[in-house]
Amino acid sequence: MKFWDSSAIIPLCFKEPSSEAVTHVINADPDIIVWWATRVECISALARRIREGAIGTNTEVHVKGILSALSEEWSEVQPSEAVRQRAERLLMLHSLRAADAFQLASALIWAQESPAGLDIVCLHQNLRQAAYREGFTVLP
């Protein structure tokens, strides 16, 4: 099982330059754990692409179907005081946005604060660096 950031889920739903790399990761291990708000973050990315005219109606329906299928199978780290406290700590230590701090805090909760030997799948550079510094193996 690997922890997946929303930045890595999105290329599973529609073609992006990183789609091939993340597809290899999920094919090797289809068990996904995510932060509770990941689905909303993915819908946000989809809506932005629709507003920009990069995605049409047919693609929107297809992407929502893939996202729905993924979310039915993945496990989620739920919001909690522990997640909030870790996110606050991470914001003071790393160059992260609040959403990325919640992602990494959730990954740390999943890892039971012992990330050595565990994987996080992420494409955002600042989150990748912070996850690595916290002890995760960062993929792809």
- Is this model's pTM higher than 0.85 or not? yes
Query: Confidence band (pLDDT; 50, 70, 90) for 116?
Result: very high
Query: Domain residues of the chain, as ranges?
Result: 2-139
Where is 69: in which H helix or E strand? Answer: helix 57-73
pLDDT of residue 68: 96
Contacts 24+ apart (CB under 8 A), 61-66: 62/14, 63/13, 63/14, 66/12, 66/13, 66/14
Q: What pLDDT score does 117 carry?
A: 96
Predicted confidence (pLDDT) per residue in 26-51, tens digit: 999 999 999 999 999 999 999 999 99
> 2-139: what fold?
Rossmann fold (3.40.50)
**Three-state SS at 32:** strand
